[in-house]
Structure 1
């Protein structure tokens, strides 16, 4: 284009919010090519993560129209290239530019192989690029319905707490369910604090934490491609924070955060549209179902029924027992939340669902093998209840108290062992406090395997008899980096505490199981204390 051509077409480009000069075609091709090369490098395994610092941006460019400072849709073109040239087929595009990436959503609106999630200012459709396409109801079409997710802020001023709340409640549950082969971030930094056009307040630390969360997906394969931004300081500081995560640094500590009411309402509305209330339970329910199926099919365990519909709705198929549970003199009660991914990750950033599933099955084999070799009975209790929205949900009794009153006390068992794992430890402590007389009479040993984020179980200060009994009958296992060993003064009501080098809760119980069984056998012996 000549200078005169640019002058003659000024109004055309002005209407499309485009800035052009004689080198615009070359710049646009270089920008798009840069994102393509950065994405191919990750898809081909040359690098785990890449950052494409390019201009002009691309996420507004639609398949048949350039607009909004964008000529080629860099991320969309790169996505299709890697899908065609590499084994990468499922791609998550997360767009945190303050504007909706209309061009990117348009490119994949009917394509289920690309999950597009955008967090942007919407302002009732009055914020650029305007119109209803960026609304929460715009979820894709045809085969791609449900694969476009818009989180549209209704006003300016959103900050770290609001974005991280959206990530935790919407972005990450849906992204984990999608299980992408590759994550691409359309990284506009115009929602950054200091950008006068975006008028939001996301800090570099906020961007770092969002990047860190996304790094847990796709085996860590991630491409970050620069999009918009109108404050050079905000762009450079935010981009640097993201780059530090990409090279392996930990995100900086954030202060306690509380999302604004308007953000919480928006996220809730998006969750209703996207049915995220189901997605948030899909993976734990799936893992629990696999483990229960394994117990039932491979080891002929039986499910414990419930008389009330409320309890059946919360715990159906989650309480299993061996066939000899009613007549065996020794009953092992294993209380846990196995399958609850948020508990099993225990504060970690990465998640391999196949590995998590293998851990569950491996430990189940170990537990059942020991039960069979000792000829004890087993009651397996998963206290991670199913979601319940019934009006009587709050009236459901405590599961362990119910099982104690209606099953355990009715068996022939005179020697009961309670084993708690993770949140299951709390359920055991509630049982001990509510049924202390019966527990102290029938229970010969209490084993608690506590995860990194779980508090150390403790008996009440107001129950000295239970405290003394618990100290003499307990064995509490903690990871060596648990804060108990640095911040807490050990007291008798914590029981007898030991530490192991393993830090993961599910692997901790597997590693500790030999010493756990030795402790149990000692406590069950005639001379046990």
Structure 2
């Protein structure tokens, strides 16, 4: 029985009715069967697939790139890999008319419905008309197009309603070229756009990110949400001055939406073919992920066309399955892990199958493979920089300066000539450049005027922050300046004998060698002579910074083990973070390291269970404390008058044979390494083998 025959009817909406008004008139829910488990009933991943969609096929003897075998090959590969045993098969059903009308006109609905009633001769006679729209049809087109759209809807609803965590809709025909008023480009209904609207209608989720990595611009999807700030549309595609399909300026970098939706369309238009993993990952790091994190979606939908894959003759690009895996992994850290993958294009059967398998591995909980050292092409770097300049008008997290494709990273030109640059600011820029050039670390964008004003360019992370099982979160203040005076009377500094003591090299070398990722935070604020309307104290700003990083990076990076390290005055803010995020800290933090120097020592102030967690046994090794506190031999805590109870409340105190706090962390590093290693679970053999191969 067709679900349309049992759905509750609603009043028909005229074709000229604005899409925005449709959202104020809830549609009747479609009847849904419960998911059919292929294996464990508690599976968190689902697939949508039906062999019925292969009936849409070309009558041409030469066939067509959008062939039925596309989904057959993907599904058979998933089954042969036994991936389906860990997932559920979500029942597919046709899209309802009232659902399609949330995006499309009634006229387009009628045109697609009429195809099923055409005779073979009428199909032949209209072939040239449909070729002008880059379409082909058969009597089965209507049914297949409705199933494809309905399948994506069900995949999205399963995630949005909390039934599943991630889903993959293996459907055809694709959808992202279908505009509200017209079908085109192999597409009939805009599957993803309709599904997003249905989710907004039927579930509490309203903020949706659609990431489109198909090699062609998703003109239909952007058109559907061009004036809507509730849906962020990001597309990476070949553009070539608007001469690559679907052609025209709509997919250009300055096409950023309109009205209330201005800034919520982000186009990354590649100027040529041959774009590779390095180019896509560069765009993700500089544009996609910063904007996505600032938008903070409640659901992520990938318009997953695989025609930018190596071997696809239409796309002519060089993205590998590993590249797609890394992009999926990064997106999977958003929206609390709620992710839907919906198949779009991709016309080389081997390429689309291998790429889809790589994405499937990630949504089933796997980790992306190691990527070789790579550098984005000059064309990609230039494009990303231009996009950053455009999008920085709308998103504070996008930094054109961080994307500028030139040898000199910083442009320090005094304006006017009498301008002064504080020495700490110059040294912080030097440190940022050192971490970027020597260790491939990247700047973490900040949200909010105050945080950006006082701490911009002071938060850096390794490029594998979304890939590693263990994350080291380092909180510190400025490095130590050692000055020698040329004149002790006037205190003139002898510049050639002065230097900065920085622990960055030793820290990053250790993190990389042991296979961890690093988030590094410098809490020394920039000077400000422009107070904000409601200025906060520096302490409160520092708390805001570390809690923002915890909520939006640490908690989203999917690392299963977190190591917190505080240095000097940064230890106080570290303890504030533990107090403010006690519940999540106790779940994921495996060790807290404090290198105190001569700063004041304090334990957590929060609930009793947190204080006990801090000073008592760890989750994995019951003979170790969760804390490690490195103190110089001259710290006041070692006074004979200090009571044993006072010592105990601070956890695992370690006396380091060093009186100069500037050298304390270097002297304590071997003990810190040993402590961290003891706190972490033993890695599984497969992961360990991969790490050893990478290190070799």
Q: TM-score range by the shorter chain?
A: 0.5 to 0.7
Contact 1:183 1:218 in 2 (8 A): yes
Residues 115-264 of structure 1 aligned to structure 2 (within 5 Å): 115-264=232-381
Q: 1:22 to 1:112 in 2, by over 3 A?
A: same
- Quick one: which of 594, 599, 603 aligns to 1:513? 594
Residues 339-350 of structure 1 aligned to structure 2 (within 5 Å): 343=460, 347-349=464-466
Paired residue for 1:279?
A: 397
- Quick one: which of 176, 185, 192 aligns to 1:68? 185
Q: 1:159 to 1:350 in 2, by over 3 A?
A: closer
Residues 284-307 of structure 1, C-alpha deviations (whole Å, 9 max, x = no match): xxxxxxxxxxxxxxxxxxxxxxx9
Contact 1:112 1:147 in 2 (8 A): yes
Residues 97-496 of structure 1 aligned to structure 2 (within 5 Å): 97-275=214-392, 278-280=396-398, 309-311=420-422, 314=425, 343=460, 347-349=464-466, 381-382=477-478, 400=481, 435=498, 454-455=508-509, 481=514
Q: 1:139 to 1:216 in 2, by over 3 A?
A: same
Contact 1:51 1:223 in 2 (8 A): yes
TM-score if structure 1 supplies the norm length?
0.63
In the alignment of these two chains, the number of paired residues is: 381
Is 1:504 aligned to residue 540 of structure 2? no
How far apart, in 1, do the equivalents of 2:215 and 2:634 lie? 62
Give the alignment's Cα RMSD to 1 decimal: 4.2
Contact 1:96 1:188 in 2 (8 A): yes
Paired residue for 2:127?
A: 10
Contact 2:127 2:136 in 1 (8 A): no
Q: Give the secondary structure class of the aligned counterpart of 2:421.
A: helix
The structural deviation recorded for 1:20 is 0.7
Unaligned segments of structure 1, at least 5 residues = 283-306, 316-336, 364-379, 384-398, 412-430, 440-445, 457-477, 484-500
How far apart, in 2, do the equivalents of 1:528 and 1:350 lie? 36
Q: Give the secondary structure class of the aligned counterpart of 1:259.
A: coil
The structural deviation recorded for 1:192 is 0.5
Paired residue for 1:46?
A: 163
Contact 1:452 1:503 in 2 (8 A): no
Contact 2:388 2:399 in 1 (8 A): no
Residues 201-245 of structure 1, C-alpha deviations (whole Å, 9 max, x = no match): 111111111111111211111101000111111100000001101
Is 1:81 aligned to residue 198 of structure 2? yes
The structural deviation recorded for 1:281 is 6.1
Q: 1:34 to 1:482 in 2, by over 3 A?
A: closer
Paired residue for 1:26?
A: 143
**Relative contact order higher in (CA < 8 Å, ≥ 6 apart):** 1
Residues 344-402 of structure 1, C-alpha deviations (whole Å, 9 max, x = no match): 68843289xxxx9xx99xx9xxxxxxxxxxxxxxxx8457xxxxxxxxxxxxxxx9468
Paired residue for 1:394?
A: none
Q: Give the secondary structure class of the aligned counterpart of 2:187.
A: coil
The structural deviation recorded for 1:173 is 1.2
Residues 156-179 of structure 1, C-alpha deviations (whole Å, 9 max, x = no match): 111111111111111111111111
Contact 2:309 2:351 in 1 (8 A): yes
Q: 1:502 to 1:136 in 2, by over 3 A?
A: closer
Contact 1:123 1:154 in 2 (8 A): yes
How far apart, in 1, do the equivalents of 2:467 and 2:490 lie? 44
Q: Give the secondary structure class of the aligned counterpart of 2:303.
A: strand
Q: Give the secondary structure class of the aligned counterpart of 1:512.
A: strand
Q: 1:54 to 1:433 in 2, by over 3 A?
A: farther
How far apart, in 2, do the equivalents of 1:239 and 1:110 lie? 32
TM-score if structure 2 supplies the norm length?
0.49
The structural deviation recorded for 1:503 is 4.5
